[in-house]
Amino acid sequence: MNTEKSKKAFDEAKKYIPGGVNSPVRAFKNVGTYPLFIARAKGSKIYDIDGNEFIDFVGSWGPMFLGHAKECITEAVRTAAENGLSFGAPCAAETELAKLITELVPCIDVVRMVNSGTEATMSALRLARGYTGRNIIVKFEGCYHGHSDSLLIKAGSGAATFGSASSAGVPEDFAKYTLVLPYNDIDSLTKAFNKMGNEIAAVIVEPVAGNMGVVPPADGFLQAIRRLTAEYGSLFIADEVMTGFRLSPSGALGLYGIDADIVTFGKIIGGGMPVGAYGGKRDIMEFVSPSGPVYQAGTLSGNPLAMAAGLAQLQCICRHTNIYDEIEKKGAYLESEFKSAAERNGIPVRVNRVGSMISVFFTDNDVIDFKTASACDTERFKLYFNEMINRGIYLAPSQFESLFLSDAHTDSDLEKTVQAFGEVMSIIKKIVV
């Protein structure tokens, strides 16, 4: 496969952009190569500047639930653009999108639009602190909630000790207000609340973790968060930036039958445009300015193009009444075939899946948290990734990201992917032997 134009484009980009990319994982450093520069996309396919075609399982990291350049979305954006790109003033589409979100997610009464998932989670934390009058936030190791200072914290040395900054530029003083616990560990969570529950403003969690690879919640884990936060007067923040409207019409909360106090969104609610949102129960959300004392603002929040794209995507999803059942079948097929191919070749693999989110881990052990995810064979993943790319299958360039299925993936796409996966397992087997 010739990718020389992408290599030259990357070399040029590195002169003017840090690392040549505007988001770190795009640099392909984890897989020992350089990124492909994409020229266009349609349906389930993307095309690089060298003219290569790929079946896309990244989907812009999740937003393209209906596939690329879906007509109902592109037409909505085109119409909105003809009337102006941004007003810095209210538009009716903001209310329409907010109303639809509240209809789909029962625990949400009020929504505030922002421009990214990071902005949504950052604002949700400030709101939780303002509403409760407390400072401490609980997060879970391996869950990523954006790059705001309070959340770039790595775990401390014990179950109920504070962490330290995981990025340069984050003051250590910020870390003292963030408690990092193991994902899926109900005992550690219970001990933390027993020790300092009256100081905890909120617990923030990905209901299905997607940033250490896909890791489902253990039985009772989300329920324990709900129970403990309610008992101690803390808030439960469900970070559904990745899972919102992907796993069910009401996201992961709907899939697992869980209620949260604040929910954050991104990706799918933007239809491919830069959009984030946070919403929750009315009495909490009324603490947000101008209704209340918690300040948050944004020049481009609720801009008409983003609102048009997000509204069109959610409306298209709602009209397609069987979409979640259809994508579940696609996901189950890939999961089963991946497991079978790995087993035939004697390759130790764990396939974690929830609906349209899938991760292949090269390990003998179940992957249930960040520790078990980190113990996987990333060198074997690197080989797997590059061989799949060579066969026209575009995956996330990291062991710790999800494969995303879309409504646009066809049976033929899935069959080609399964065939490629089997071939790659055979190659890995020969190298291992």
pLDDT at 293: 97
Domain limits, the chain: 4-69+321-432, 71-319
Kindly name the residue from 239, 261, 369, 407 that is annotated as catalytic.
239
Q: Is-same-fold flag (4-69+321-432; 71-319)?
A: no
Q: How many CB atoms lie within 10 A of CB 351?
A: 18
Active-site residue flag, 239: yes
CATH of domain 4-69+321-432: 3.90.1150.10
Profile the chain (433 residues) by mean pLDDT over runs of 10 residues: 96 97 92 96 98 98 97 97 95 97 97 96 97 96 84 53 64 80 97 96 97 96 98 98 97 97 97 96 97 95 96 96 96 98 96 98 96 95 96 95 97 98 95 66
pLDDT at 160: 44
CATH of domain 71-319: 3.40.640.10
Active-site residue flag, 187: no
- DSSP of 49-110, one letter per residue? TT--EEEESSGGGTT-TT-BT-HHHHHHHHHHHHT-S--SS--HHHHHHHHHHHHHSTT-SE
418: its two tokens: 């399964």
Kindly name the residue from 45, 267, 330, 382 that is annotated as catalytic.
267
Instruction: Please state whether 123 falls in left (phi above 0), alpha (psi between -120 and 50) or beta.
Output: alpha
